[in-house]
A and B are shown apart, each in its own frame.
Chain A
Amino acid sequence: MKTKLNFNTHRLMIMFILALLGGLLIAYKLIFIQFISHQKYTSQAEQNRTQILYQTAPRGQILASGGEVLASNQAAFSLYYLPPFEMPEEKTLMEMAGAVSKNTLKPQKEILQILRKSLKNGKAVLIADNLAPKNIFALAELQNFYPGLYLLEETKRYYPLGASAAHLLGYIGTMEKRAWKQLSGELDYRLNSKIGKSGIEKRYEKELKGRDGGLFLEVNYKGRVTQIMKDNRWRKGADVYTTLLAPVQQAAENAIRNSLTGQGAAVVLDVKTGAVLAMASLPDWDPNIFTPYNDGKNNESKIRIPEYNLAIQGLFPPASTFKTITALAAYENGDLDLKHEDNCTGHIYLNNREFKCWKNHGPHIDFMKGMEQSCDTYFYNLGLKTGSYNIEKMQRKFHFGRKTGIDLPGEKSGNIYGPTKRANLKTYWFGGDTLNLSIGQGELLLTPLQMAVYAAALASKGKIWRPYYIEKIVSPSGKILEEGKSELVEQVKLKDGAFELIHKALKNVVDNATGRAAKIKGIAVYGKTGTAQNPHGDDHGWFLAFAGEENAEPEIAVSVLIQFGKGGGAQAAPAARKIIKAYFDLKHSQSKQEDKNVK
């Protein structure tokens, strides 16, 4: 039996109920923190303890069709400072900065600042990147002396052939703000990532990039590294195989470099596919200057390069090479009488104006002779006979004035010239214009690439190819991501015998006359010279050519332009010869190699 106490316990119960309510409130807040906001706090906890050192992945290689490496990578090292557990003494810090300064060429003061900041904020910092392997032994030794220094292996871009194909390959550099905005969301770009700035490097940036690796460091509350959590290996970028033939490319560059002015462009196309076998444009530059080893300076923004790609952006009048169009137009309309002979007196008169021929060719100039000697008088008359409209039509048939559609930024479309075009511009067409048009001078403009496409069309009897330069893109695992495809834009249909006639005439030009400088023993070379008048300076020399084995179909089409080279025959034709020879030398040595292998 319980004794009845003389006190009541209501107030204690009130307090207990308060305790229960307090408990409920606490439980609610605990559930809120640990269950509802779990994700948020987890990521904060991870952020707290993780610091990442990124490792730039090696970019994919760019290769020529024969396997020659055009762009690859070299080992480069980055030096980091991870704040150590024991706070280093001021004296040690000074010594360390001095020693590091010697091997990285950075001023000691700057390094000291970086180290102090790192210790204060408890953050791993990059002291220097792009360090050359020759410094590595010294730096690796410093690593043992001074805890906290950490060498990370990375790579940097390297172009083994130097300036070769520089315009097509492009170059890489630190991205600007605009590129950062575009790219930051897509792949693992960081503010100091290097990206392709032009050419293939830019066009296939995503394929070449690869995936950066990273060292995930676990740090304590002072930012001191306690362990390396994981080491994400980088994934190399995909390799880009181009259709370029490295020896031909180099031959083209050397041919131009060794010409009178050393400036110009050359394009070599595969007649059967439209693949670009070589594309040279000079002046050029060595893309390695953008990715040097660390020399303590940053000059990237100061570098100026001749980025203008003459092969696709340079516009020139086709000059005498255009006489093939005039001839085709006349033949197509039945105005070409092969037996007709003209008398060249060095000039003709039209409406009391004098139009000069470049030379007094004398009497008995028939079609073959006219082409051979590039006699303007003959083609003035032929032009007048067939009419400017027909010549303009023939230009359109061969896609003059239209982009070739090569997958490169900045290609120019050139300019068509003729009465229809004039009519559209609401101006008049004069008889003199017809004469200018017949010999390819005047407002008509072509790029060297367009010229090569035209040459290939002549060679293949009317096949207009869309030029391409990518053979395939292969991922590191061997998967083919993209394959270059030959694309026929149009098959030009002309009267029977038209192409054969042109072939015959152009062969004759090389064998016997103005194009003799392009003649190669054992190879059938077809060509036409051209000298584009340049009101601002020396004339430009053209050479349009295609070539094949003796008694076989032509294989390659070549266009060469020597800027300010004065004459096509003197400067451009020998260059074309070197290029064509390089191609067939390569082909023959390969087939010999194959024969040996078979035996």
Chain B
Amino acid sequence: MLNNSSRIKTRKLDWLLIYALIGLCIMGFLTILSAVSGTKEMATVMRTHLIALPVSVAAFIFGWLFNYQIYAEHYRKLYAFVIFLLVAVLAFGIVARGSHSWFRLGGFSFQPAELCRIALIVITAAFLSSRQRYIKTFKTLAIFSMFILPVFALIMMQPDFSSIVVTAPALLILLFVAGVNIYYFVLIIAFALMAGIFPILWTYISLYPEVLDNSVILTWVNSLSFDIIPCLIFSGIILSLFIVGWFILKYFRIIVPFSLVIVLAFSMVGGFFSGYFVNKKIKSYQRKRIEAFLAPSADPKGASYNVLQAQIAMGSGGVLGKGLFSGTQSRLGFVPERHTDFILAILGEENGLLGTLLVLALYILILWRIVLIARNSSDLFGYLLCSGIFAIFFVYMVFNFGMLIGIVPVAGIPLPFISYGGSNLVSSMWAMGLVEGVYYRRLSLI
């Protein structure tokens, strides 16, 4: 009895997670090979990938064997390192595809933002576990915001939009799991909604101006995008609505702290104004992506062309697929970014529905193992670390699959372990190593 249980408990690795990773990496390797075969880039891509694979195994082993609890004490140094990397890339990095986000060392390129995504999760988990007792206070959130905003600002300076898209929701999930006061989430969500909805509405109206014909409200909403004065009036209306609402609630003997209501109202106004400025500053190609998402059929040769071609690739693959190296959409170049962001389309074309569902199932399996490991963690930091890594892979899955099936806009987000990209593969493997490290030390008592 004792023997048996001790044998189970001393297992050092969660093999199911590892099998899933191996499965994804094999599928990724074959699909990348198929996607680039016959192109000029083939030699470079395959060489880089073949070097990245062993390096990522090393990163995994490092994450597994290096005691994660050490990060809990030294997360400030890690934070400093992240800032250093991001500043260095702005100073010494090279520009590729309009983005200042690559280091070039010898024959290899390295994208520090990929590593920073995971590092930010580690830092946040460490910070939150250190403030376990004050987790529900506003101060925790304020400190968190103060150290996270410079990082985001540095990333935006590259600019690396997709890193924000992945990291921000992942950090929010992590905050939620850590037990941050729900009220603050209401604030954040209200802020984000106001910041998001208005630019989308304005873009929508510019695409379909006929909706203005019969709607006073939409006409007025549209007028907000031109001038600051209606915006101020609008903010005033929001504030006064909340105050009036508070008095009405009070009349019915429902007492809500006045400060909460006012803070919520101000966060909405703040969100609105950030939306307003984002709308003014947004780049044309980014607006095109939003337009393509809102109206995919409006311009089939334009921005939505990529998604359409990806869907044609997947759809023409059918259930069993056309066979490896036989995808015409892939081979003839109809699918863009076919070895990186849109690799799933190639996989779907050549391996069919079975292939895509297998990838999805392996992702769900990985998420499930991470959740199990988190619940079995011996300390809060391990739990939060796993939750954060769960969150970031959840976001990866939703954004990459979602982009292909048309439920989220194209944001240039790869699918870890499948897409080509050494930095992403290595940092993702490091993250998986960290999870295995939590598993390895699940029985240790600090």
Chain A residues at the B interface, C-beta cutoff of 8 Å? 2-3, 5-7, 9, 11-13, 15-16, 18-20, 22-23, 25-27, 29-31, 33-35, 37-38, 40-42, 44-46, 48-49, 218-222, 226
Contacts and interface: CB of A to CB of B under 8 A. Distances in A.
Given A2-B376, A221-B309, 10 more contacts: A5-B378, A11-B177, A15-B173, A18-B394, A29-B405, A30-B314, A34-B319, A49-B329, A218-B332, A219-B332
Contacts, number: 137
Given A16-B368, A19-B364, A25-B407, A34 B177 contact: no
A33 B375 CA distance: 36
B63 interface: no
A38 B319 contact: yes
B296 interface: no
B315 A23 contact: no
Given A3-B445, A222-B333, A226-B332, A33 B394 contact: no
A202 B103 CA distance: 74
Contacts of B94: none
B35 to A, nearest CB: 14
5 contacts: A29-B405, A35-B353, A38-B318, A41-B311, A48-B332
A19 B312 contact: no
A221 B374 contact: no
The 5 closest A-B pairs by CB, nearest first: A41-B315, A45-B316, A29-B405, A220-B332, A34-B353
Contacts of A27: 357, 360
Contacts of A6: 380
A86 to B, nearest CB: 13
Contact of A16 (B176, B367, B379): B367
B425 interface: no
Nearest to B322: A45
Interface centre among A23, A34, A41 (most CB of B within 10 A): A34
B334 interface: yes
Interface in B405-419: 405-407
A7 B371 contact: no
Contacts of B315: 33-34, 37-38, 40-42, 44-45
Given A12-B374, A218-B328, A35 B179 contact: no
A48 B375 contact: no
A34 B352 contact: yes
Interface stretch (B17-25, B42-50, B139-147, B395-403): B395-403
B31 interface: no
Interface of B: 132, 173, 176-177, 179, 309, 311-319, 328-329, 332-334, 348, 352-353, 356-357, 360, 363-364, 367-368, 371, 374-380, 383, 387, 390-391, 394, 397-398, 401-402, 405-407, 445
A12 B318 contact: no
B405 A45 contact: no
A4 to B, nearest CB: 11
B387 A12 contact: yes
B177 A15 contact: yes
Contacts of A18: 394
A366 B445 CA distance: 147
A19 B398 CA distance: 8
B312 A9 contact: no
B312 A44 contact: yes
A575 B321 CA distance: 76
Given A26-B402, A41-B314, A34 B356 contact: yes
Contacts of A5: 377-380, 383
A48 B407 CA distance: 24
A19 B367 contact: yes
Nearest to B327: A45
Contacts of B383: 5, 7, 9, 12
A23 B387 contact: no
A221 to B, nearest CB: 4
A592 to B, nearest CB: 67
B356 to A, nearest CB: 5
A22 B397 contact: yes
A399 B391 CA distance: 97
B353 A12 contact: no
Contacts of B397: 19, 22-23, 26
Contacts of B368: 16
A226 B333 CA distance: 11
Nearest to A42: B316
A91 to B, nearest CB: 26
Contacts of B445: 3
Given A5-B383, A26-B360, A35-B318, A48 B329 contact: yes
A20 B363 CA distance: 10
A42 B327 CA distance: 11
B316 A12 contact: no
A64 B311 CA distance: 59
Contacts of B329: 45, 48-49
Nearest to A36: B315
B312 A48 contact: yes
Interface centre among B173, B312, B348, B363 (most CB of A within 10 A): B312
A27 to B, nearest CB: 6
A7 B179 contact: yes
Nearest to B383: A7
Contact of B333 (A22, A29, A44, A220): A220
Contacts of B333: 220-222
A12 B176 CA distance: 8
A352 B360 CA distance: 113
A13 B371 contact: yes
A45 B312 contact: yes
